[in-house]
Amino acid sequence: MRTLFICFVFVLTQPVAAQQKKPLPPLSQRIAVLQQNIARYFYDSASHHYKEHNYLTAEDKKKYAYLWPLCALIQAANEVQVVQPKSQLLPQVLHSIQAYYDNAPPAPAYNSYVVSAEKDDRFYDDNQWIGIACMDAFVRTKDSVYLKQGLMAYQFMMTAFDTVAGGGLYWKEKDYTTKNTCSNGPGAVLALQLYAATKNKAYLDTAQMLLRWVDAKLLSPEGVYYDHVQLPARTIDKRRYTYNTGTMLESYVLLYELLGDKKYLTRAQKMAADAYKYFYKGGRWPSHYWFNVVLLRGYLRLAKHDANKKYINSFRAEGDRIWQQEKDKRHLIGTGNRKALIDQAAMLEWYARLAQQKNM
């Protein structure tokens, strides 16, 4: 009788549990929801500016978003246009970014805040992220507007170079206290994109110079990258973030694609395995969505040349988990009460990139 009772309970309870698990919406639906929410909660159609969060608090001193969330959104917009060619999000975001344009010497670039409201710092990595997104758009559309954006970002970033600490790029204009992986890694990606577009060897030389510097100064024993060199002491900030390894991974795959030398692919494969071992714990990637999606970019580029599907599958599972567990009733993503534009943009890129993968 005990055996029969146990089996009877199992038969009754299993369907109930199955009914409680709702099927996930397809990636196309998630992309649509995120776009709608960004337009509804973060975009001010009167000013054509975006907001940092879905609502302001008494402590907020700025009405509009800093440039960084728009760096995430412009890349997301490009990926959306790959799967939804009629999307107008990319030109809209690029138009909004022009409000940050600052023509100050030594080179034009984008300010970290809306210039008409306040002149703020100019960050080399912010401009690189925009340049990278625009170069991706140029490859897809052949529109010279995007190439000009990439060239502008490159010209500005090269004003950050000197030979202090053996080379490398600073992180922020007129701040000579740090040289970061987050300004040199994306700098290499951008330079390689420009080399691919123009075949001007100067861009290839720049990329290889930056990669050598990061590998010499900021590669950890675990095979991922430290955050920055602190100057003038030349001490190392040993924090490790997924996006820093992401840009280095993408750079090495790009080198392989451009030069055909398998040593670069082997290097990328090792870095991919090291990053997976170091960062992917308990079936989870770390908590910062945008940092992680930059790493996803590297894995997706590697996946074109490597049959190992576990990396992309882990991001697919993590994207599903985030949709199930870290989304409120309005379908805004984030673990806190107030939601951030950069988080919505990161997950929009995440789902749009996964939607492009047909055989994974």
Contact 244, 185 (CB under 8 A): yes
What's the confidence (pLDDT) of residue 96? Answer: 98
Domains of the chain: 59-311 (1.50.10.20)
> Which tens digit of pLDDT belongs to each residue from 15-36?
434 334 678 999 999 999 999 9
Take residue 317 and report the two structure tokens written for it: 């599972």
Take residue 43 and report the two structure tokens written for it: 């975009």
What's the whole-model pTM score? 0.93
Backbone torsions φ then ψ of 171, nearest 5 degrees? -95, -40
Q: Spell out, as residue ranges, where the chain has pLDDT lower than 50.
A: 1-20
Residue type, 293: V
> If phi over 0 gives left and psi between -120 and 50 gives alpha, with beta otherwise, what is residue 295?
alpha
Cα distance between residue 340 and residue 65, in whole Å = 10
Q: Are strands 226-230 and 175-180 parallel, antiparallel or unpaired?
A: antiparallel
What's the confidence (pLDDT) of residue 21? Answer: 64
Backbone torsions φ then ψ of 302, nearest 5 degrees? -65, -35
Mean pLDDT of the chain: 94
What's the confidence (pLDDT) of residue 118? Answer: 84
Which residue bears the tokens 């054509």?
A: 48
Q: Which secondary-structure segment (H or E) carries 13?
A: helix 2-20
What's the confidence (pLDDT) of residue 360? Answer: 57
Take residue 278 and report the two structure tokens written for it: 């170091």
Task: Assign 295 to helix, strand or coil.
Answer: helix
